[in-house]
Structure 1
Amino acid sequence: MWLLFAFIAVPLIEIALFIQVGGLIGLGWTLAIVLITAVLGTWLVRSQGALALGQLRSSFNDLRDPTEPLVHGALILFAGALLLTPGFFTDAVGFSLLVPQIRHTIYEQIRNRVRIHTAGGPQPGGPGGPRGPVRPTRGGDVIEGDYVEIDETPPTEER
């Protein structure tokens, strides 16, 4: 429901701002500001995106959690889309998303809302292998069993 509200409210806000700003400074200056913010925004998104990509690579190389650089990259990408969209409101939101402290605050808000649950199980090449986990039994009893490997290659026809 909030997404529908955003799709209705944002264009109305943009139209109102275009009318107000255009009435104050004129059509030419209004269009010039829109073009300048698009060019400046593109340059800032490229530089911020390169920094975020470097942080992501560093987190992979150092075997650290990559979620924060991924969130920063996603927010920079979203900021780029907003800055390329003509309008004063979307430009203001887009430029604010290029501020690292604001992105970090958004990341903290997302991190506080998301709960990660992990389930234990065999890892590829780990204990249990492809047949599943090795589970301890009660009292140390061993239950033995037999298995049969099935050949899944299709039979060939003989002539």
Structure 2
Amino acid sequence: MRLLIAFIAVPLIEIGLFIQVGYTIGLWSTLLIVLLTAIVGTALVRSQGAQVLSALQGSFKAMKDPTEPLAHGAMILFAGALLLTPGFFTDAFGFLLLFPPFRHLITNMIRSRLTSANVKFSTHQTSSDDTVIDADYTDISEPQSSADPTKH
């Protein structure tokens, strides 16, 4: 139900804002602002995405929990979609998602609603004998017949 309300409310808010802003500053200024927010937003998404990707790779190398960089990456991807969507309301929320403290707030809110098992990362420990035997085999044993009671 909430999703339905969002799909109805967001376009109505955007239309209202377009009318108000267009009336106040004019059509061409409004269109220029929409275009500029898309361009600036794309540049910010690229830089923020590169930072989060670096943090994700660092967490994998350090064998740390990667959920936070993954969540930030998902929010940055969503911010990019919002910023490419024409509109003032979606642009405002998209720019908020590019602000790291806001992403931390959202992450903490989501984390407080979820429960998960404690997952620990560790390297694979091998025994003192590191010999690996790679072989192909063919089973040449005869199949046992259930009809012959002498064979078990």
Q: Residue 117 of structure 1: CA displacement?
A: 3.5
Aligned equivalent of 1:88: 88
Aligned equivalent of 1:7: 7
Which string of whole-angstrom CA distances, capped at 9 and with x for unpartnered residues, describes residues 67-120 of structure 1?
Answer: 0000000000000000000000000000000000000011111111111147xx
Which string of whole-angstrom CA distances, capped at 9 and with x for unpartnered residues, describes residues 122-155 of structure 1?
Answer: xxxxxxxxxxxxxxxxxxxxxxxxxxxxx8xxxx
Larger relative contact order (C-alpha < 8 A, sep ≥ 6)?
2
Query: For the residues of structure 2 that align with 1:108 and 1:25, how far apart are their CA atoms?
Result: 39
Aligned equivalent of 1:139: none
Question: 3-state DSSP class of the match of 1:63?
Answer: coil
Query: For the residues of structure 1 that align with 2:16 and 2:41, how far apart are their CA atoms?
Result: 22
Aligned equivalent of 1:61: 61
Question: 3-state DSSP class of the match of 2:19?
Answer: helix
Query: For the residues of structure 2 that align with 1:66 and 1:112, how far apart are their CA atoms?
Result: 17
Letter in 2 for 1:34: V
Query: For the residues of structure 1 that align with 2:100 and 2:81, how far apart are their CA atoms?
Result: 17
Q: Residue 7 of structure 1: CA displacement?
A: 0.1
Query: For the residues of structure 1 that align with 2:67 and 2:111, how far apart are their CA atoms?
Result: 9
Aligned equivalent of 2:46: 46
Aligned equivalent of 2:33: 33
Aligned equivalent of 2:114: 114
Query: For the residues of structure 2 that align with 1:107 and 1:16, how far apart are their CA atoms?
Result: 31
Q: CA RMSD in A?
A: 1.9
1:100 has 2:100 as partner: yes
TM-score for both structures, normalised by structure 1: 0.74
Aligned equivalent of 1:74: 74
| Identity score, percent | 67
